[in-house]
Every structure is written in C-alpha cells, then in structure tokens.
Structure 1
C-alpha cells in the first residue's frame, strides 16, 4: 500500500500518527523501540513507514504496550486499516473485547442491572465463574494457540450446563493479544460458516456454539467439517482456535459408526470430532460447590441465590439459567399451554427446526388435550396460551417465546420444486426454551405424537429438512401412512432423499420413465445416489446398457463408487470380462479400490507383471492396500520371495502392516524363525503393532521373560495395550503392586480397560473387595463397563443381590445395559419374573433394547397380547439407531402390514 493510497485509508493514517506521537513522547528511536517491544528492526520500521503494509495485530499490540498506548483502540484502527486498503478481503470476526458474552449465546443469569437515573435497557450480568476440570483442558488449548498451534475443542453436555460460558472464559487470555472472534450466524449459521470459513485469518477464534446447526446441517454439514479440518491443518492459516458445543445426543449421532452397508452421512464430522470432544458434567462436584460458596460469601449475589436451591444436587448452571422455573411453569401450565409445550417438545425431538410455526403448533396441539379440556376451549384459547408461555422466568427466559428469523440475504437456490415460503409469509414462529426441549427429549422419548401432530405437520410445515426428518420419524415408528404422505410433501419442496425414495418406488412399480425423472431431479440437487440406485436396479433386471449409462452419469456427477458397484455386480454374476471393463472405467475416475480389484483379477489370471503394475499405480495414488493384497496372495501360493518383495514395497510406501501380516502367516504355518525375522523388519520400519505380535509369539512359546522385554519396548512407543498386558503378567506372577502401577500408567495413557481387567482377575481369585475397588477406579476413569462385568460375575456365582447392587451402580454411572444383561441371564436360568422386573427397570432407564427383549420373553411364554403391547412401545420409541433395526422393521411389518395409527392401533388396509 502506497502513501498516496493512505488518503483512502484514514484508519491507517490515524494508526501511524498515534504511533509517531507515542514514539516522540517516549523519546525513543526505532532501534530502542524494537528491543523494548521484542520485535525486529525491520518490522518496526515498516510499521512507521508511510508506504509500508498494514502492520499485523501482533505487531500493533507489541508497539502499543511498549509505547504505553491503549491496545484495544490501536487494534481497532489496525483492523479497520486491514479492511479498507483495497487489498484482500479481511477475515470475518471482530476483536474479542468488542463482544458481549450474551451475544455469543451465553445464558443470562439473574436479573439485569438498570443504569441509575436513566431509561436505558438493563445490562445483563454474569455470575462469578467457577473453574472445573474441563476448564483446564480449554486453558491448555488456549496456551497452544497462543504459542502458534491451531486447536479445536468441542464441549459436550446437556442443556444449560455451562458449555458456552466455559468457552467464553477460556478465550479471555487472548483479548490482550489482539485476537478476533467470529460467530457465523447470518443468514443462517451453516450458510455463514460455509461462505466465510475459507476467509478466516490467523489469530481468530471460530465460535461454533450449538455446533449441530453447522455440522448436522443436511446440505452443508460435511462441507463445513472439511473446511474446518482444512483450516486447522494448514499452517499458514494459523494459529486459529475452533470452539464448539454439542448436546450428547448430537455428539453420539455424529461420532457413531454407520451400520454395515448403511449410509454414512457424518463421515467427515466424525473424523473432525475424533479425540476433540470434551464432556462437561451436569452438576458441580464438591470442590466446585465449595468454590461457588466462596464466591457467594465474597459478595456474588447470583451464586448466593442459586446455592439456596441447588446446593444439594449441584445443578448450579441450570438454576442460573432458570431451568427449575421453566420446569415449574410447564408442570403447572394451563391445559392449552401444556399442549402447546408438548407439541413443541415432540416437534424438536423428532427433528423439526428451531423455529416452530404458530399455525403448526396451534393445529397440532388439539389431540394433546383431553376431551374435557377440549370442550372448554374458548375462541381465543391459542392467543391466551401463547401469552401465558411468553412470560419470562428467572434467567430472562420464557417457556415458548416468539422469535424473528433473520431474512435471507441472497436469492434462493434454483429448484424445479416450489420454494418454501419465507418466515414472513409463513406467519409467526416460536422457539422452545432449551431446558424444556432437553426435558422433553428425556421424558417423552417413549411417546408417539397423536394424529393432530402428523396432520398439522403435513398441512403447515414447508421446510424440506423438517418434512424429511418427520418422514423418517414416522417410518421408524411404523406410522406408514403418515410417512408416505410426508415423503410426498418433502419431495414437493425439493428434498432429494424423498425424491430418491419415490424414484425407487416408481422403478419397482415398473414406471421407469417416472423413476428416472425423479432420480434426475434428485441428482440435479446434489444427490448422486439417486442415479446410482437406479443403475443398480437396472443391472439387477438385466438391462446392462441402461445400468452402465446411469452409473456413468452418477460418476460424472461425482460418485465414482457407482461404477465400482456396477463392476462388482457383474463380477458376482461371473462376467469377469464385463467387470474388468467397468473397473477400468472406475479406475480412470481415481477409484483406487477399482485398481485393487483389477490387480487381483490379473494375479488370479496368472498375469503377475500386470498385477504389479496396477498395484504400483494404486500405491502412487495413495492406496498401498493393493500391494498388501498381492503379497498375501503370493504368500498363500507359496511364493515367499515374491511375497516379501511386495511386502517391502508396501512398507516403503508407508504400509508397514504388510510385513506384520506376513509374519503372522508364517507363525501360523509353524515357521517361527521366519515370523520373527519379518516382525523385526516391521518394527524397524516403525510398526509398533509388530512388537506386540512378537511379544505374543514369545509368550505363546513359553518365553515369558523375553515376552515381557518386548512388551516393554512396545509400551515405550506409547502402545497402551502392551502396558495392560504387562500389568496382567505382573498380576499373574503375584506382583499386585507392580500390576496396579502399570494399569494406572495404561489408564493415564487412555486405556481405561486395564483397570477393569485387573478387577476381573481379582474377582476370579475371590478378592471381591480388591475387585470392587479397582472397578470403581475404572469407572472414575470413564470405564462404566467395569461394574457391569463384576455384576455379571456375581450373578454367575449365584450372588443375585450383589449383582443387582453393582448393576444399579453401573446404571447410575451411565451404563444402562447392565440391567439388561442381568435380565437376560435370569431369563436363561428360568427366572422369568425376575428377568421381567429387571428388563422394565432397564427400559425405564432408557434402554430400548431391554423393551424388545421383554417383548420377546413374553412371546416365548405364549403371552402374545402382552408381547404386542411391548412391541408397540418399541415402535413408539422409534429408535433407528438400534443395530438390528432392519430386522425389527420386518417384524413390525409381519404384525402390522399396513402400519400403525398414531394412537398405536393397527392401520386399516390402504394403497
């Protein structure tokens, strides 16, 4: 930027003027100033140079401190200068010190302070802050970014547990360092994030509060996760700090592995969150309560007030946010108001967005009322009920408040379907209080909404995501009629998954033209799976030419797996020539798995040279698995020399596990010497797993001393599993103290299972007291399964009372499966009454699988009516995350082929 340009950048001119004044006032030259500020002489010179670039925020901060100038004022000038010089677009965000915490969605606590003698609106204040264990982790992340290393931390906890406040407190050390904070919000969170993530500048905090609105967005969530990952791993864009918050159910949804063969809609989000989430407890522990009491005694009236109510259960943050009053308002609401709240709770837990249309709530609430309450409704019942729910409670919250969505800032995406109306056209919308939403998810999880809910959703909701989510909710609850009608409504609004489903239905009905039209509409909106699915269906009917054309279209639209699947289908039918042709097409799109299959086919045909060429091509493209597969094939064929050569190539390309696999194969063949040689080669190549395998081989051979030596070598590389094995060996040798020390080392390194294994060993030797002590230590370290394992062992020995006591402890620690396991064991021993009692207790604790087991138990006893009652309860829960859901769906269809009505009665035949 040249001096003559500074006339167009008054902020830069003013920044340099104030630096010059400060330099003159302090009577320093630039050399002395550089030393005092800890900056280079050139950096300081350029900061004062008229035609120099805009100095960085870090430079301005150092100069301001050295010259005793106001840091924040100069940083504001620096930011304005960076954005007004006609250069690159400035990064999003503003200085952390310019933010008000409530604008970042920190829950307000207590009453606002009103400025004395004025009519100015009240200033919302925060209570004193009590630091807990998770704050130490956040503080470490902040120290890392201050030192130049980008970090991400996502706090996971239930509603109103202090997640957002913890993030706000954590970033305060960055205020004086001139860091920016960016909260993507307008026009929607996901759109704002997707648009500007690639503009984020170094020394920026990216604020992803309620991260489900970003990472869980059906259209953009995966792209946002990829953009955040790229931001974190690109050195020249850092340092940055990404902070997010999530409720546990969203964290579980995003990090759970998909069912085999099922869709994987959150693969990038799962990778982003791996190892980067931090759980925040629901309540304060004893030290935190003591710290809060000390702040209260020091004059913090907000904490003093909440401690009078929440000191026994430790739910301090929830009380500060007004949760108890919200719950009281719900419990004591008028019938009409309670019906509206329960409608809103059901809508949110079944996937409707934050902004609930008034027309939908009003129409849906009707069947939530008893007949007596319905008969007593007045003409203005809805207006009166909404007014009742709008009244604020402690913490400046309302159970159900009217809200105004921000209007869209850009033209809608072109669509062949009619666009949903804008919020203004759709009428008033309302938002349910967070705590009541969480309460509804817990207390209403086993209830299916009544008929008026589904009717109002079909009539009043217009957003594709809302309709798609409710379609799925109806489907998994076996409400097939409503699933059908809602799917059609979703398709009308442009939902690509609904279009795909309808395309498949048309294809199955023989309407190929209609199916292809719908599939193309879905593909035009980014859902290439539609074309891929049609290709599969055409291939299955023998129409190969049409299948190949559709697969090519899917590949051209960005789905190379479509061609691969087509090739696999041809290979399955024995058409190897046709399969190889399509595999070649897939390989040309960059599908390295296709190269692998081609290489294997060449190897099987005896063309080893061709196979190796393809394998190397795959390795060059980043897939060493082809070399590995060929090495295994040659080893199995007896060509050890060829196998070793390929394994070494794979190791050179980064796949050290190939050498380990050959070592295992030779061990299994009885060649221990050859196995050890290969294992050592793998170790030399950096494969620590090979060390463990070598140790296991020695242990199997009876060489315990040699095994322990190698286990120690592996443990030194950070392999916690070897620390655990060492602990077991010490325990078996009678060295309990050494065993516990090693187990704790493993736990500190992240292997909580080490303590559980020790506990089991002590239980087996009859040391129940020692076993329970270790199990509780394991639970404290996060291993809730330790108590369940002890409970099962006690049940097996006939100590039912002791087993139940431990199982309940496990449930209290979050392991609901403990009671279910005991129920199954009692069923197997013939104690059906005891089994049913435990199964019901497990179901009440939220274990849906226990309900299903209870239904099966009743059916086995011939109690078909009782079994059907419980099967309906399973359907009402609508738990599509159950690993056996597909089988469960088939069981529902056999019982109720036309589905269930909302009230649970079988649906009459319909077409």
Structure 2
C-alpha cells in the first residue's frame, strides 16, 4: 500500500457518506411526490438551500438544513446526521482543500451552522399544530428595514467591493440572525466564513487576519470582545481591519459584527480635550458602518410576521406573547429566563444575582466557579443560609443551568474547546479544574437595569480580590468600587490589578487617595510610600515641597528617583534649586530630560535659550513635542519660523506635529494660518489633516472651539452634520449659546434630540432659565424627560427649586432617582444638608453612592469627596463599606 492510500480511502469514505445522504433525501423527496420548490416550502428553507443539499457537486449541508429536511420528509434524522458527521469529519492535512491547505482561515458558508455562529435558537412551539412540521431551531425570518441596507452591502461585496457593517441593538433583537440571513447569497458563490474565537476572540482575530483570503466573511459577533479588548488589542485590530478593507488586492472581504448600543456609545464618544483618546481607531472604523436594529417590530413588520406565521407555529406563538412587538426577544427565550430567575430557589437566584453584578461591574464573559462560590454568601439572608444542605452550591449551579424556552440557561458552564487554528501553535488548554460560567445575555441586560442602584455585598468584593486573576477585570472592578465610594476595595483591587504600575500616580493617586480627606489621605499615602510605590513618594515629596519642608521633600523625591522614576529627578531639581544649589539643580533637570521628561526638557530649553544656544534649544523642544507636548510643539514651530526656512517648516514641522496627534496637527494648521492670512481656516485644516471623516470633523470642531476659534469650529461642525454625524449638532448648540443666539441654538438642539442627544435640549433650557424665560425652559426640560432622559427630570427639579417650590423639586429629583439617576439623589442630599436635615443628606448620598454616582467627576481637579455634602464627607473619611456604613481606617489592611 502506498503512503497516499489511507488519505485516499479517508476521502472516499467521506464522499461516499455524503453521496448516500443525498440519495436518501432525494429518494424520500420522490416518494413524497414533491419537487425541490415544494420541499423548500415544507421545510421552511430557501429553494437554493434545498438545491445545494441535494446537489452532488455542492459542499456538505449544515446540521440545521438536514434536520429541517428530515422533518419535512418524515424521516428519522439520526441516521442522516450520522452520515453528515462522517461526510464533514476533519480530513488529514494532506487532503485538505486548497483554502485549508494554504492555511486560509474559514470554511464554506454552506457548511456552517447558524447555531454554532451564536444565532439564538428558539424553543419548539408549546402546542404545535399537526399540519405544521416542527422547525429545526430557527423560526421563519421576517425582514425588517435594516435588512434592506444590509442586503445592499452584501450585494456590493458580492460584486467585488470590500465592505463592513456592524449591527447595533440591545440583547436578543435579531442582530446575529440578520447577519446570517444576509450572507446566504454569498454561500451560493462559495464564499468562506471565518469566526475567530480561540484562545480569545481578539487574539484569534489578530493572529489570523493576515491569512484571510478574498471572498471571506469575517464574523465578529459580539464585537465588543474584539474592538474593546484591552492592552491596545482592540485598537490594533481596528487598524488592521481598516487596512484590510482598503487593500484592493485582498478583497472582496465582508466584515459583519454586532454590538450593544452602550458599547458603541463608549467607543464612538469623543474624548474631552484634556482626556486620553482611547478608541480613535475603533471610532473611525465604526463611522458610517453602523446599522441600528430596533428592539421591536414596527407595524409594517408585524403585518409581515403575521402573514409568515400562518405556516410557522414558533412565530405565531411569539406574536401572541409579544403584543408590543418584542418578538425576537420572546423567540430567544428572554422572558422565560427572567421568569426562571424570579422563581428558582434562593440559592440559585443568589448565584445568578452574583453573576449579574459581576458582569455589570466589569468581570469578563467567563466567571470563575471559585469566585461565585465565595461571592454568593452575601446574597443570602441568615435564615436562607442556615437552611442550606451541604452540597447547596453545586445544586444551585445545577438549578441555574436548567434550560428554558429557546434552549437558554440563566447561567451555563462554558466548556473550552481545543484549538482549531491552522498554521499556528496550539493555545494552552484552560485549567479544567477551575470551571467558568457565562450569564445569559438577556439576564445580563436585565441585571444592568434592575440592579443599577445596588452595591454588591462584602463577599462579592472579597471574592474578587481573592479569586480574580485578570488584571483588566480587577481594574474595572476597582473603578466600580470607587464609583460607589467603596474606597478601601477600590484601593485594594486596583493595587492587585497591577495597572497602576504602568500608569503612575494619575491612576492611583487621583483614583483613590485623592478622594480621602485629611489624616486618612496622609495615612494611606505614607503607607503606600513605605510599601515602595513611587507615586506615593512623589505625592509626599510634592506636599512637603509645597509646605516648604525641603528636607522631607528631598528624601521622598530621591527615593522615587532611585526607583528609576524621572519625575523624582525633576522634583529633586526643583528642591535643590529652592535650597540654593543651582548647579546641582541643573544637573538633575538634565538627567530628567535625558529620560524624556517633558517639563524637564522645556526647562532645559529655557536654559539653552538664556545662553543663546538655539540649536540645543530646538533639540530640547522637539524632543518634548515628540513626547506629545503641545507647548514643546509651539516653541519648536516658533523656532522654525524664526529661521525663515519655509521648506523646513513645511516638512519637519509637520512631522513633529503628527507626533502630537490631532491636536498637534490642528496647532500646526493654526500657525500656518496665522502666517498666511490668505488661507481660509477650513481649507488649511483640510490640507493639513487630510480629508477628515465626519467623526474627525466633529473632533476638529471641538478642538477649534476650545482654542477660541469659534468661526472655524462652526464651519467644521456644520460640515460634520452634513456628512451625517449626529454628535456635531450638540457642538453647534454650544457655539450658538456661546454667541447668545438662543433661538438658533434651540433649532439645533431639536435636531440633536431627533438624533438622540437630548442633552442639547437641557443646555438650551438652562439658557432660557438664565435669560428669565421659565416657561420656555421648563417646556424643553419636559420634552427631554418625555424622551426618557432622567436628567430632564433633574433639570426640572432645579427650575422648581429656583422658583421656590422645594417640595415639588424634591419629588421630581426622587422620581429621577427611582429611574436610575444617581446624580439626582446626590442633588437631593445636597438640598437636604442645606435645609439642616443631615440624616436625610446622608441617606440620599448613600443611595447615590450605591448607584455609582462617582463614575466620572467630569474634570480631573475635583475629587469625589467634594461632590458630597460637606458634613456627609466628614462622616465618611475612609469611604463606605459595601453595606453602606462608614469605613473604619483601612490603610494597613491587606
């Protein structure tokens, strides 16, 4: 026997199984006296799907297709599926098809199973009619308006143009199913589908993207796990996808993704001018590639669904259960999951609740068993806990894993699959001794809504501290603890995450310690410094320097410098200068500059300038600019202008400006404009930045506004709105209010509100209130509130308070608080303190803290403690414990 005979036999076996499968199906079709069109109607499949399933030249059909055909032809599906498994068994590497042999990721769409691609299954009808065959997991698909645009994108891809679409909607709204239905025309053309997911989705995508071939669908379901990956992976992947889309030699490619609206908002929100831009590549990638999927069927779609439901019991019963149009959620089993959650035994409900809190506060998709085992205790009352049997936790997990309608479980165990990647090293096998669990999407969203004003118990935070190893999860939990003023857990979790070691003082000093007051802050910082944290040493050096205690300041600055922190060298230089040691100060500043310290470089440039050493001054400011310093860039461009070398200014100046990002490029544009008054600002920026997209146009408008160039800002904002960027309307509202044109601001605010930005209405309402137009102000605030913006209720409360109606104001603010607006509760706390009701102030401040009111103070120089009523802050010097009581001193706790 030759070496290739086993492979040939293997190939023949698969082909024989596939041929027999098709012969059995075709014989049953003939016996049933129906053609392929009639069979497609019986099985609720596309005519082309049936044709491919019976054709001896097409790839093997999917499990879903075979099951549907078997049911339509009254055949036992098990023997057919056994033949299919043989036909689809993984061949030896030597006999793989061309794509697999070359290491090209993906497999033919026709061989893919939608359930394996995370299309939500649907349960069997509760009372199927005998005249209707049972369906294989998926109901009849009812197209909606977004499907038309998606079909157009697929046609463009089929015609040879690389395209991308991201379907955006809340949980179980049919996003993934829409993608699956849309690509069926590509299946007929032999396109491949690649679903990267192992070892993690982002890692798999980054590793395999360079091997993607033309005519491939890249399947990024739940795209937050790709585009939102930490450590820069999401940004790198977004950049790589953008490059792939723009490379005609690798197309056509179709990229399909799904996202929840909250993730899209987080990725596309423009950063404040003083904040880091964490998602520029993702924001650019998503621009104009978003398709919104409504959470319910509109009237026209409901009519189509009722027509389709004549032959589909699944769809018919879903329509009967979902009169308000939430059909897809019902089909996915969402309501049944909530019912199950509310009715299961207390221990199982406690486990699911702990998982809900884990997901909403930042833990990843896979929740460790040991974390749940320790966290759940605090979710049970003493009476419930006393009655538990010995094996209560495992029984609770089993109860939570029970399936409901739609084959969904509230909390299911995740079974890791072996690596299936080709041409790559095998990923390490997850530790099978530490199971992980995943919360159902629908319950995750339910928990985010129903528990948004709840702070998890002590056991939750302690379990995270003990059992969570992922530093990104720990960092998110630390932020969640800080948002709830649980400062001790914020400090300990953030310290254990290790993130602060890369980010320095801003990540810990301002993260936690700056929220402490008086002796509490001093004690914690001193302890951290003794533990070897350079951010704490620098904090103490600054405080001592400010208090003119140069000896202590030098001790701490020296310790930081000895730990290789250039900030320590910089402060040592200042301290030595104040002590009269100018020579020693210069040497230390030079050392800090050698380490790339921005401020040290600028001070060094000052020294060179005073000595008339222009060449070294230019080198110093250029290095500072290349570190991202706009001040350094400005000085560098000024020096270039002084040399009157236009070519150097145009080439070198631009290169250095690019290193400072968009603000640097805009700064460069402003300098050129000032030097050449004949150029219009808009033309100059377009020449400088390139031809920006609508998101970038809005960012440019914001930058121009903050630089005081209102005219240019207005022009760019208008250009962005014309290109379809909704956020730019809000920028135009700011500009009109700045010039006092409240009437036109109101026009733009209504356009912003129509695009979903009701904040613009409240800004104009505030302007009307200041102008003495209370009726107009209240009308706009009510309009925002009616649109679901609880800030509208809070604004109304402020207006009522200004009018002297304290009781009415409090009622409105408390209504906003009940709807999840924690800031409204903090406002009530402030009003309570002003009226002398300290107990009420503490009560509402605690409720606001439970709801995460301190998520973002809006600007860096305000500590969270300053948000609290003064007397409340004085009672909480160390923050709160999880149960809401003031924390005792905790700086030495480990």
Provide TM-score, normalisation by structure 2.
0.69
Residue 439 (structure 1) shift: 0.6
Q: Residues of 2 paired with 1:532 and 1:71: CA distance?
A: 66
1:650-707 deviation line (CA, Å, top 9, x unaligned) = 968953799xxxxxxxxxxxxxxxxxxxxxxxxxxx9xx99xx9xxxxxx9xxxxxxx
Cross-structure match for 2:452: 445
Cross-structure match for 1:236: 249
Cross-structure match for 1:567: 601
Contact 2:822 2:847 in 1 (8 A): no
Change (3 A) 1:655 1:903: same
Asked if residue 643 in structure 1 is aligned to residue 676 in structure 2, the reply is yes
Match of 2:369 among 358, 363, 368: 358
Cross-structure match for 2:397: 386
Q: Residues of 1 paired with 2:623 and 2:719: CA distance?
A: 43
- Describe how 1:395-794 pairs up with structure 2 within 5 A: 395-406=406-417, 422-426=430-434, 428-491=435-498, 515=534, 534-542=565-573, 564=598, 566-568=600-602, 581=616, 584=619, 587=622, 591=626, 597=632, 600=635, 603=638, 607-609=642-644, 613-619=648-654, 623=658, 643-644=676-677, 655=687, 721=718, 782=756, 784=758
- Describe how 1:871-886 pairs up with structure 2 within 5 A: 871-878=845-852, 879-884=854-859
Structure 1 residues 437-446 or 813-822, which shifts more?
813-822
Cross-structure match for 1:202: 214
Q: Residues of 2 paired with 1:811 and 1:274: CA distance?
A: 29
Q: Residues of 1 paired with 2:386 and 2:840: CA distance?
A: 34
Match of 1:896 among 873, 876, 879: 876
Q: Residues of 2 paired with 1:654 and 1:265: CA distance?
A: 24
Q: Residues of 2 paired with 1:94 and 1:182: CA distance?
A: 7
Change (3 A) 1:902 1:607: same
1:775-822 deviation line (CA, Å, top 9, x unaligned) = 999866656468768987998999999987875664453433222222
Match of 2:185 among 173, 177, 183: 173
Q: Residues of 2 paired with 1:812 and 1:507: CA distance?
A: 51
Cross-structure match for 1:149: 161
Q: Residues of 2 paired with 1:449 and 1:469: CA distance?
A: 14
Q: Secondary structure at the match of 1:446?
A: coil
Structure 1 residues 82-91 or 809-818, which shifts more?
82-91
Q: Residues of 1 paired with 2:532 and 2:355: CA distance?
A: 41
Change (3 A) 1:484 1:752: closer
Cross-structure match for 1:317: 328
Q: Residues of 2 paired with 1:87 and 1:806: CA distance?
A: 60
Q: Residues of 1 paired with 2:259 and 2:6: CA distance?
A: 44
Cross-structure match for 1:907: 887
Q: Secondary structure at the match of 2:315?
A: helix
Q: Residues of 1 paired with 2:493 and 2:368: CA distance?
A: 17
Contact 1:211 1:246 in 2 (8 A): yes
Residue 849 (structure 1) shift: 3.0
Contact 1:567 1:582 in 2 (8 A): no
Cross-structure match for 2:835: 861
- Describe how 1:56-67 pairs up with structure 2 within 5 A: none
Cross-structure match for 1:709: none
Change (3 A) 1:243 1:566: farther
Contact 2:165 2:256 in 1 (8 A): yes
- Describe how 1:241-256 pairs up with structure 2 within 5 A: 241-256=254-269
Q: Residues of 2 paired with 1:300 and 1:467: CA distance?
A: 47
Cross-structure match for 1:825: 799
Cross-structure match for 1:281: 294
Residue 423 (structure 1) shift: 3.2
Asked if residue 101 in structure 1 is aligned to residue 114 in structure 2, the reply is yes
Asked if residue 134 in structure 1 is aligned to residue 146 in structure 2, the reply is yes
Contact 2:318 2:327 in 1 (8 A): yes
Q: Residues of 1 paired with 2:279 and 2:497: CA distance?
A: 22
Cross-structure match for 2:279: 266
Q: Secondary structure at the match of 2:199?
A: coil
Q: Residues of 2 paired with 1:348 and 1:619: CA distance?
A: 45
Asked if residue 216 in structure 1 is aligned to residue 224 in structure 2, the reply is no
Cross-structure match for 1:372: 383
Residue 469 (structure 1) shift: 1.9
Q: Residues of 1 paired with 2:351 and 2:779: CA distance?
A: 41
Structure 2 unmatched runs, 5+ = 13-47, 62-86, 127-133, 422-426, 511-523, 539-560, 574-584, 691-696, 705-710, 738-742
Q: Residues of 2 paired with 1:882 and 1:595: CA distance?
A: 25
Q: Secondary structure at the match of 1:424?
A: coil
Change (3 A) 1:840 1:583: farther
Match of 1:838 among 803, 812, 815: 812
Cross-structure match for 2:313: 301
Contact 1:615 1:626 in 2 (8 A): no
Q: Secondary structure at the match of 1:102?
A: coil
Provide TM-score, normalisation by structure 1.
0.68
Q: Residues of 2 paired with 1:87 and 1:365: CA distance?
A: 46
Change (3 A) 1:905 1:148: same
Q: Secondary structure at the match of 1:264?
A: coil
Q: Residues of 1 paired with 2:608 and 2:831: CA distance?
A: 45
Asked if residue 348 in structure 1 is aligned to residue 351 in structure 2, the reply is no
Asked if residue 870 in structure 1 is aligned to residue 844 in structure 2, the reply is yes
Q: Residues of 2 paired with 1:270 and 1:540: CA distance?
A: 38
Contact 1:580 1:598 in 2 (8 A): no
Asked if residue 849 in structure 1 is aligned to residue 823 in structure 2, the reply is yes
Change (3 A) 1:909 1:161: same
Contact 1:824 1:835 in 2 (8 A): yes
Q: Residues of 1 paired with 2:664 and 2:398: CA distance?
A: 67
Q: Residues of 2 paired with 1:7 and 1:539: CA distance?
A: 74
1:389-420 deviation line (CA, Å, top 9, x unaligned) = 1211000011112222346799xxxxxxxx99
Change (3 A) 1:565 1:265: farther
Contact 2:125 2:313 in 1 (8 A): no
Contact 2:820 2:851 in 1 (8 A): no
Cα root mean square deviation, aligned: 5.5
Contact 1:602 1:611 in 2 (8 A): no
Q: Residues of 2 paired with 1:792 and 1:500: CA distance?
A: 33
Q: Secondary structure at the match of 1:143?
A: helix
Contact 1:468 1:498 in 2 (8 A): no
Residue 753 (structure 1) shift: 5.6
Change (3 A) 1:654 1:430: closer
Change (3 A) 1:284 1:648: closer
Residue 824 (structure 1) shift: 1.7
Change (3 A) 1:856 1:582: farther
Residue 366 (structure 1) shift: 1.2
1:266-307 deviation line (CA, Å, top 9, x unaligned) = 2322222233222222111111111111111x2111011111
